Structure 1
Amino acid sequence: MDGTPAPSGPEGRVRAVVSALAEVGPEGLTPAQRVAAVSALEALKGAAAAAQARLTAAAVVDREALGEDSRSVRADLALARRCSPTLADQHAGVARALVEELPCTMAALTRGEISERRATIVVRETACLSLEHRGEVDRRLASVIGGLGDKALAAAARRAGAALDAESLAARHRRAVASRRVSVRPAADGMAWLSVLGPMKDVIGAHLALICEEGRRHVIDPDLPAGEWEAAAATARADTRGKGAWLADRALELLSGRAPGRPQPVEVSLVMTDRVLLPAAFGGDAPADDCASIPGWGPVPGAEARAAVSDGLGEPDAFVWLRRLFTDPTGRDLVALDSRRRRFHGGLRRFLELRDPTCRIPWCDAPAAQTDHLRRAADGGATSAVNGAGLCQRHNLVKEDTGWHVRAESGGAGPQGIRITTPTGSTYDSTAPPLLGEGWSPRWLDDLDPPDDSGDPDVPTDDGVPDVAFFDDARAA
């Protein structure tokens, strides 16, 4: 025992249930009993979600009654639920709607008849209705809500709302049109999703235009001269791309305005070891850990990273820079870097962007859009890598609210760690991820020693301060 008293009250009872669930297993049960247990556990998840909703709604209402910014309590709840603050906002909104406006849906969730996901669907599909009409939709769905799937439930809620207030449906459609946008998000294996949200007729029309063009790509004009016809046929035969690949290539070509294969005028940071970049210099064979990393996106194969560099070098109008990064002997962490400036600029800012590609607050996957002091400069905090962190804009503001304390726990030797204490007294720890991404482990070749560049006299300075983390090599194009 560590001497910590066991939690009491509702928390203690809930944790006792969590402990009891560890003893639930398939041994000695018939197939029917196992299925029945799965059903009971599904009901338990719904009941747990209902309890979370009641507690969440009360926490938000109490904080607002005190005249405080609900942003702080929502950030606290995000850490408690181990999710991003954006998702915590959704949880808080759903909780208040269920507790205050949708009693029948809340009752079904409490009984475990529906999941949190389906309760959220009812909240979402009735959000545009008045309080009176929302309550009526809730009552109309009460008898069927437990037997409908996700799509059927969403359709039923929309239809019931439209029958009560057709104008709200029209207003919702107008707001949807105003929210049209283009977004990009990372995908697995070095890919990314480019999404266009727009009016259905326009999006379908654009997609149909691409489909029609793809259908003509192997059609050759019979009126072409013989020589041109044969060349066109040879080009068509050489194009072995599938339909999906061709559509994607053509869409990106049209959007970027550049021909296939031409370099794109964007900056992509590829972080890799010298062994991955130059395997020939280390015996010719690729290392066992032959992969690079794009900070904030994930790993890519070493061969693909080398090809990206060599392709850029081969283009006359491409700009490629190689920047050497110095790490600790394990290769896990960048070395520390200090600055005399009040703000994080230059090499120090690049240092933090590489070390903290995403927000350092646990479970927040938002890009680290801002770099800031953990201990405020006004309180004597240094403008240094140890006292700096990459944060999303929201958490950078939240940490300044009353009751929030964020401080550096370690630095220098080993990864930088920070400790977050919320207004309710809960504490959470965050450790800087490995330079090459989580899941990486150091593997030094037996016949090579880790590089020691700590005494390199050629490392330039930034405003008179030694910059031991970065230097830019000459343009390699």
Structure 2
Amino acid sequence: MTALLEPPIPGYDLDDEELPAFSDAELDLVFVEAAVDRLLASAGAGRTDPERIDRIRRLKTQLNRLDAALHDTAHDFARAHVAARIDAAGAQAAETIDPEKLERSIAAQIALACRTSPHHGRTRIRVARDLHNGFDHLRALFLAGELDADKITAIVTAADTLTPDQRAELDRRLAEHDLTRLGIGRLRDLTRRLVAEIAPADFAKRCEAAKKTRRVTVRPAADGMAFLTAHLPVEQAVGCLAALDKAHRDLSASPEPLTRTRGQVMADTLVERLTGKTHATDIDLHVQVMIPVEALIDPESPLPAEIPGYGPVPADLLATNKGRTTLRRLITRQGVVIGGDTRQRRFTRFLDELIRARTRNRCTEAYCDAPIRHIDHITRAADHGTTTLDQGRGTCEFHNYLREQPGWKVEHTPDGVQTTTPTGHTYPNAPPR
């Protein structure tokens, strides 16, 4: 019989007679942490390539199982948090609790603990909830480490409109396939097809309702570029792409030599048709630009300008545009906004712009990359907070409303601005850089 060796507890001498007492839950994590320490210490040990591949495979399996344990713990926390709020409110007041606001508070706490955005926190808690309500086979694969969190999330979110009974039917149909051999895209497509078969009437209603969500968004990309995204009904999106492709084919058939690629022609045609300009480079600009004070002092400074929320750009890039350009300069030192120039007369509007630019138009809450939607008083106006640059912080809608939930608090500390959650955990806000 082989003896089982318990791994050492990190930070403690096993020969010490006065080891601290751990609860069962704490002891489980202590052993996991000790095992990870040993894995990291032996990562560079001499092995053959086949052994390394086998090791990678086994590590990934255990990582999946840890992710499954994390989802289970998140589910337990959510259930306990809801029960505690109901108990605190009392039997009569419990009916007045807003489920959406309560979920928002739960998701935010999980997101902070996982060091991720509220969107991912909400996704995680909803996936954990649905896994416990109909997805028995899928959850078993997750617990066994056969599927990772990304694949589980792709499947569960594709079926988020189903009832528990419908999820159980989907789970049964999914069990007929070898899910472990499929990539995320194939898993998502398979799930969507089965969902449409299981609830065809609901699928038709969602397709009709989805048309109301059509929109256009922009998000930053590297090297002074950005992604312009149109969320459209599929027939309109295909029609737009066909029109842009036709523009390229028409130019290709003309006698003049074509010096641009197909992608460049389509992109330029899109800009020209949207703006009504003859050439894509003729667009008019009204841009808020952050200029390092060093660049104002030294014309040869290599420091780039920056458009808040979209990233750095070479200063001369803006000057090459053929359209009419209006710039609002905000002066920075080491990336922090310290002043600006403006012709606007309303101070409150300029202060709003300074606060947004200070954090690159990103929400100041930790791990949140959402764009700023609200300017929030760190010390509430109702608590005699002043409307100044130091007292203002930019937040997304989610986090501005979140601080109004029971147990949440935002305050100044010697190290900056800090958020406290209902469990008493504290998280420093993202620095203004």
Fold shared, TM-score > 0.5 on shorter chain: yes
The question of whether the paired residues in 2 share the 8 Å contact of 1:355 and 1:432 is answered with no
Q: Does 1:104 align with 2:114?
A: no
Alignment match, 2:25: 10
SS at match of 1:114: coil
Q: Following TM superposition, by how much is the alpha carbon of 1:261 offset from its aligned partner in structure 2, in angstroms?
A: 4.7
Q: Write the mapping of 1:267-416 to structure 2, written as runs, cut at 5 A.
A: 267-273=286-292, 276=295, 282=298, 286-287=300-301, 289-301=302-314, 305-309=315-319, 311=321, 318=324, 320-321=326-327, 323=329, 325=331, 331-335=334-338, 345-356=348-359, 357-410=361-414
Q: Following TM superposition, by how much is the alpha carbon of 1:6 offset from its aligned partner in structure 2, in angstroms?
A: 9.5
Q: Distance in 2 between matches of 1:422 and 1:395?
A: 12
The question of whether the paired residues in 1 share the 8 Å contact of 2:365 and 2:429 is answered with yes
Q: Write the mapping of 1:437-452 to structure 2, written as runs, cut at 5 A.
A: none
The 1:322–1:404 alpha-carbon spacing in structure 2 relative to 1, beyond 3 Å, is closer
Q: Following TM superposition, by how much is the alpha carbon of 1:218 offset from its aligned partner in structure 2, in angstroms?
A: 4.0
TM-score by length of 1: 0.74
Q: Distance in 2 between matches of 1:122 and 1:307?
A: 44
Q: Distance in 1 between matches of 2:212 and 2:329?
A: 43
The question of whether the paired residues in 1 share the 8 Å contact of 2:217 and 2:230 is answered with yes
Q: Following TM superposition, by how much is the alpha carbon of 1:114 offset from its aligned partner in structure 2, in angstroms?
A: 0.5
Q: Distance in 1 between matches of 2:68 and 2:330?
A: 52
The 1:208–1:196 alpha-carbon spacing in structure 2 relative to 1, beyond 3 Å, is same
Q: Write the mapping of 1:212-231 to structure 2, written as runs, cut at 5 A.
A: 212-220=246-254
Q: Following TM superposition, by how much is the alpha carbon of 1:215 offset from its aligned partner in structure 2, in angstroms?
A: 1.0
Q: Following TM superposition, by how much is the alpha carbon of 1:26 offset from its aligned partner in structure 2, in angstroms?
A: 3.6
Q: Following TM superposition, by how much is the alpha carbon of 1:137 offset from its aligned partner in structure 2, in angstroms?
A: 1.7
User: Pick from 56, 63, 75: which aligns with 1:57?
Assistant: 75
Alignment match, 1:27: 45
User: Pick from 252, 273, 292: which aligns with 1:254?
Assistant: 273
User: Deviations along 1:60-116, whole A, 9 cap, x unmatched?
Assistant: 233333345222121111111111112211111111000122111111101101111
Q: Does 1:433 align with 2:426?
A: no
SS at match of 1:408: strand
SS at match of 2:417: strand
Q: Distance in 2 between matches of 1:263 and 1:6?
A: 71
RMSD: 2.9
SS at match of 1:320: strand
Q: Following TM superposition, by how much is the alpha carbon of 1:45 offset from its aligned partner in structure 2, in angstroms?
A: 2.0
The question of whether the paired residues in 1 share the 8 Å contact of 2:288 and 2:329 is answered with no
TM-score by length of 2: 0.81
Q: Percent identity?
A: 31
Q: Distance in 2 between matches of 1:193 and 1:431?
A: 25
Q: Which moved more, 1:192-201 or 1:396-405?
A: 192-201
Q: Distance in 2 between matches of 1:207 and 1:272?
A: 38
The 1:397–1:181 alpha-carbon spacing in structure 2 relative to 1, beyond 3 Å, is same
Q: Following TM superposition, by how much is the alpha carbon of 1:428 offset from its aligned partner in structure 2, in angstroms?
A: 1.1
User: Deviations along 1:163-199, whole A, 9 cap, x unmatched?
Assistant: 4443343334333334333222211111111122223
SS at match of 1:345: helix
Q: Distance in 2 between matches of 1:18 and 1:26?
A: 19
Alignment match, 2:343: none
Q: Does 1:240 align with 2:274?
A: no
| Aligned length in residues | 390
Alignment match, 2:58: 40
Higher helix proportion = 2
Q: Following TM superposition, by how much is the alpha carbon of 1:211 offset from its aligned partner in structure 2, in angstroms?
A: 1.2
The 1:241–1:176 alpha-carbon spacing in structure 2 relative to 1, beyond 3 Å, is same
Counterpart of 2:316, as a letter, is R
Q: Distance in 1 between matches of 2:350 and 2:229?
A: 34
Alignment match, 1:455: none
Counterpart of 1:193, as a letter, is F
The 1:405–1:344 alpha-carbon spacing in structure 2 relative to 1, beyond 3 Å, is farther
The 1:409–1:7 alpha-carbon spacing in structure 2 relative to 1, beyond 3 Å, is farther
SS at match of 2:82: helix
User: Deviations along 1:405-438, whole A, 9 cap, x unmatched?
Assistant: 211224xxxxx7211111111111135333xxxx
Counterpart of 1:395, as a letter, is H
Q: Distance in 2 between matches of 1:169 and 1:346?
A: 45
User: Deviations along 1:46-69, whole A, 9 cap, x unmatched?
Assistant: 212211221222222333333452
Alignment match, 1:422: 421
Counterpart of 1:300, as a letter, is V
Counterpart of 2:349, as a letter, is G
Q: Which runs of 5+ in 2 are unaligned?
A: 1-10, 12-19, 87-96, 341-345
The question of whether the paired residues in 1 share the 8 Å contact of 2:290 and 2:330 is answered with no
Q: Distance in 1 between matches of 2:228 and 2:130?
A: 33
Q: Which runs of 5+ in 1 are unaligned?
A: 221-232, 338-342, 411-415, 435-477
Q: Write the mapping of 1:107-186 to structure 2, written as runs, cut at 5 A.
A: 107-142=140-175, 144-186=178-220
SS at match of 1:182: strand
Counterpart of 1:376, as a letter, is R
The question of whether the paired residues in 1 share the 8 Å contact of 2:363 and 2:369 is answered with yes
Q: Following TM superposition, by how much is the alpha carbon of 1:40 offset from its aligned partner in structure 2, in angstroms?
A: 1.5
Q: Distance in 2 between matches of 1:336 and 1:291?
A: 17
Q: Distance in 1 between matches of 2:66 and 2:187?
A: 21
Q: Following TM superposition, by how much is the alpha carbon of 1:361 offset from its aligned partner in structure 2, in angstroms?
A: 0.5
User: Pick from 102, 105, 114: which aligns with 1:72?
Assistant: 105
Structure number with greater Rg is 1
SS at match of 1:361: coil
The 1:349–1:8 alpha-carbon spacing in structure 2 relative to 1, beyond 3 Å, is farther
Q: Following TM superposition, by how much is the alpha carbon of 1:347 offset from its aligned partner in structure 2, in angstroms?
A: 3.5
Q: Distance in 2 between matches of 1:430 and 1:32?
A: 45
SS at match of 1:196: strand
The question of whether the paired residues in 2 share the 8 Å contact of 1:126 and 1:161 is answered with yes
SS at match of 1:216: helix
Q: Distance in 2 between matches of 1:374 and 1:161?
A: 45
The question of whether the paired residues in 2 share the 8 Å contact of 1:101 and 1:135 is answered with yes
The question of whether the paired residues in 2 share the 8 Å contact of 1:309 and 1:320 is answered with no
The 1:351–1:6 alpha-carbon spacing in structure 2 relative to 1, beyond 3 Å, is farther
